[in-house]
Amino acid sequence: MNKTRASILTLALAGALATAPAWAQNVKVAYLVGITGPIAGMAPTMVQSMKFAAEQVNAQGGIGNGGKIDPQVYDSGCNPQLATDAATKAVNVNGVIGMVGPSCSGPVIAVANSVTVPAGVLLITSSGTSPKISTLDDKDLVFRTVASDDYQGRALARTLKARGTDKVAVTYLNNDYGLGLAEAFSDEFKKLGGTVTASRAHEDKKASYRSDLAELAKGGADTLVVFAYGNSSGLTIVRQALENGFFKNFVGADGMRDENMIKTLGAENLKTFLVSAPAGATGAGFEKFSKDFKAAGGDPNGTFAATSYDAAFLMALAIEKAGGDKAKLSQALREVATAPGEPILPGEWTKAKQLIAEGKDIDYKGAAGDHEFDANGDVPGDYILYKVSGNTFAEIERMK
């Protein structure tokens, strides 16, 4: 065993020496993304937008007095074993002071529990949506720029109720996305005095959902809430419900906001179709990010692109505010991200740096939302209700 330990140390030492910083003023930040594994398709855009944030920071004056953000990209594999291993390397061998990521909720929980929280490292995830992340015992070191699945479901329930719907049937895709939304929605809807006549999970990619729909329709509700994807089971369900007249009104969440729905079913058939989606894609912050990121060759509409950018940019702001002091990072993050303060849009690093140097309070208005963190380090999420208009979706109201 001694020999093994010795060789482990030697190898680790070799690794550490090889990656020693160019100069001491640079600040190392880990970008932990699921490069291999189930979300490999989304990872390149996420890494690109995180790196893009670091490039903007470095091009506009960097950190402190001439230092740079030195991003260290690690692979979390969307898997807790790999993610904790990578996080341990990042924190202990490369000495990062903050971590953006990991991707996927399970790795976030494992990494926070066993690496970053015990080691006192700030973690901002851009893609972990599980409600469990809110309740971690995290010493205020775990934040996220993506809203918990919980919020959208609740916001949708409140909005529907306020618009006068009292009775709904719910069907959801049987995965953590569908389940999380359906649970939060039903809970909130019942609390407000509404009736959920039936709630059924469905499996993806079936040819017919008529028997599911018949069961759902039994309760007498004329509104069907579908938490699924509009290019898959969601489309089939709405089509078959229309064909057979099971329901009159249809409501979906962001997964259903798919223009493919309108193309396939026709706008004239979807007059009673409402969807909610995160507001990120409309604000001034997103427009600026979108323009800059496109110019740099990125896809601003890629899944988690905006949230990943915000996580990386917020991390840089927090480091600047805290003067590179690891222990003050989480406090600094709250100060730079939340109101009051001078608004900062994505990419406005020079302005932010100057204001911080003058000791003024700033408030980052990001690409994916305003990021007003609550006590759990969650963002409330800003959602908009859309209806079908012509060949696209038109905003009806902002949901609260």
Site residues (vs another protein, CB under 8 A): 1, 4-5, 8-9, 11-16, 18-19, 35-37, 43-44, 47, 72-75, 77-82, 84-86, 88-89, 91-93, 95, 104-107, 109-110, 113-115, 118-120, 130-132, 135-137, 174-176, 179-180
Closer of 67 and 178 to another protein (Cβ) = 178
Closer of 98 and 366 to another protein (Cβ) = 98
Here the tokens at position 179 are 């389940």
- Helix 329-337 vs helix 305-322: crossing angle, to nearest 10: 120
Integer-rounded Cα radius of gyration of the chain = 23
Strands (E), 203-293: 223-227, 249-252, 273-278
* HSE-CB of 121 using CA atoms within 13 angstroms: 27
Strands (E), the chain: 27-33, 69-75, 98-100, 122-125, 142-144, 167-173, 195-202, 223-227, 249-252, 273-278, 342-344, 362-364, 383-389, 392-399
Closer of 325 and 397 to another protein (Cβ) = 325
Closer of 118 and 220 to another protein (Cβ) = 118
Cα–Cα distance list, 398 to 40, 192, 283, 356, 388 (Å): 33, 19, 12, 32, 16
Closer of 89 and 371 to another protein (Cβ) = 89
Separation CA 69–CA 100 (nearest Å)? 13
How near is the Cβ of 369 to another protein at its closest, in Å?
23
How near is the Cβ of 7 to another protein at its closest, in Å?
8
Separation CA 34–CA 47 (nearest Å)? 9
Closer of 86 and 344 to another protein (Cβ) = 86
Dihedrals phi, psi of 31, to nearest 5 degrees: -110, 105
Q: For residue 334, which of 74, 140, 167 has the smallest C-alpha distance?
A: 140
How near is the Cβ of 15 to another protein at its closest, in Å?
3
How near is the Cβ of 206 to another protein at its closest, in Å?
16
Closer of 154 and 371 to another protein (Cβ) = 154
Closer of 120 and 343 to another protein (Cβ) = 120
How near is the Cβ of 269 to another protein at its closest, in Å?
33
Are the C-beta atoms of residues 247 and 269 closer than 8 Å to each other? no
**Sign of torsion, CA 126 329 29 293?**
positive
Are the C-beta atoms of residues 110 and 83 closer than 8 Å to each other? yes
Each residue of 226-260: b (16+ CB within 10 Å) or e? bbbbbebbbbbbbebbbeeebbebbbbbbbbbbee
Q: For residue 93, which of 8, 2, 5 has the smallest C-alpha distance?
A: 8
How near is the Cβ of 40 to another protein at its closest, in Å?
9
Separation CA 371–CA 52 (nearest Å)? 19
Are the C-beta atoms of residues 87 and 110 closer than 8 Å to each other? no
**Sign of torsion, CA 93 94 99 105?**
negative
How near is the Cβ of 195 to another protein at its closest, in Å?
22
How near is the Cβ of 213 to another protein at its closest, in Å?
21
How near is the Cβ of 126 to another protein at its closest, in Å?
16
Closer of 102 and 369 to another protein (Cβ) = 102
Contacts of 301 (CB under 8 A, 6+ apart): 281, 290
Closer of 177 and 189 to another protein (Cβ) = 177
How near is the Cβ of 181 to another protein at its closest, in Å?
12
